Amino acid sequence: MKITSEVWGRTPEGKEIHRYTLENSKGCFVRLCDVGAAIVSIGVPDRDGKVADVVLGYPDPLSYFADGPCSGKVPGRFANRIAKGTFSLDGKVYTLPINNGPNHLHGGPQGFQNQVWESRVCGDAVEFLYFSADGEAGYPGNLKAVAHYEWGEDNALKLTLTAETDAPTVVNLTNHVYFNLNGEGSGTVLDHQLQLNASVYLPTDETLIPLGEAEPVAGTPMDFLEPKVIGKDIKEDFPALKYGKGYDNCWMIDGWEAGQLQSAAILHSPESGRTLEVLTTQPAVQIYTGNWLAGCPRAKCGRSYFDYEGVAIECQKCPDTPNKPEFPSAVLRPGEVYKEAIIFAFSV
């Protein structure tokens, strides 16, 4: 594995932003950067062997700060939404910044995705570290988070997310990368086929906070148990689709067991022949069809993306887990190690 690094830019305060390229012997590559431990490019071949970048992103590293789509980055301390920006832990109530309607999203406006992480080459991998101080964005405990990326000869990108704390806290980490298997900037993903290993999903209120119990996907537009074109049902008169202007929902992964790697999703483009399988140890997957991409910073393709030009497959714990004891716990205590894996495996 060939790994190179460069200074890609600097923050207004003068801090260096590094970009890393991991390239295998086939010439397929992944590019990562310090801002939010982001995936900024993945170059893989189509059915004819032509390599294209299938990840949405920006040519200017400063565009990765505070972008609406959270493109390619690791949000935290808690990915997804927490209702009304509040939760209680061990009898104490914590208040978080509100930045998504009435709710807290992705750790707030100064979340992990908008920070410059420390970074290093670690053997055949690249590793990013972020230290979140006690009280940052209202969360308790000093937290050390690490994102460890490995790129294989088999065109699989493995992300291992770990965290440790010195006081009880809540943690939910993922990567918010958007895929377009025809190549970024090539147009809509509504013609991609999606399959989810999930027979239930989480209905939400109009602010996208889960109501509680999961419901079967059978007989609804949320059914992706068999491969289905993303755009087939996206305009249906169905609460989940109306609330989010498309899919922005969480599915519970069938057969989940803590620490066990499980297939979560398969994305396929009939046009390019590329297929992406996403595997994870996480209990749930949020599918977001890029419903609000319009107006994002100028992208690698030379313009801002339009809505539905990318799909995010976010393996994570459930939204609002700190307020939903029925969901798999997001609590991390001193002496414990949060450890989750996500694999993005490409093929044709």
Instruction: List alpha helices for the chain, DSSP H.
Output: 239-244
How many CA atoms, within 13 angstroms, populate the side-chain half-sphere of residue 90?
A: 8
Indicate if 148 belongs to the active site.
Answer: no
The answer to whether 271 is a known catalytic residue is no
Q: Could you tell me which residues come within 8 angstroms of residue 262 by beta carbon, excluding any fewer than 6 positions away?
A: 197, 253, 255, 256, 279, 280, 281
**Radius of gyration of the CA atoms of the chain, in A:** 19
End-to-end CA distance of the chain: 21
How far lies 212's CA from each of 174, 204, 265, 330, in Å? 22, 8, 23, 16
E strand segments, 110-167 = 118-122, 125-132, 143-151, 156-165
What lies within 8 Å, CB to CB, of 289 at 6+ separation is 189, 190, 230, 234, 246, 247, 248, 308, 311
Annotated catalytic residue: which of 176, 268, 309, 340? 176
CA 41, chain centre distance (Å): 14
**Residue tagged active-site, from 127, 164, 184, 314:** 314
Q: For residue 343, what are the CA distances in angstroms to 55, 75, 186, 255, 312? A: 15, 17, 24, 17, 14
| Dihedral angle over CA of 57, 273, 27, 157, nearest 10 | 60
Q: Is there a contact between 69 and 187 (Cβ–Cβ < 8 Å)?
A: no
Phi, psi of 164 (to 5 degrees): -135, 150
Strand partners, 304: none
Name the residues annotated as catalytic. 176, 314
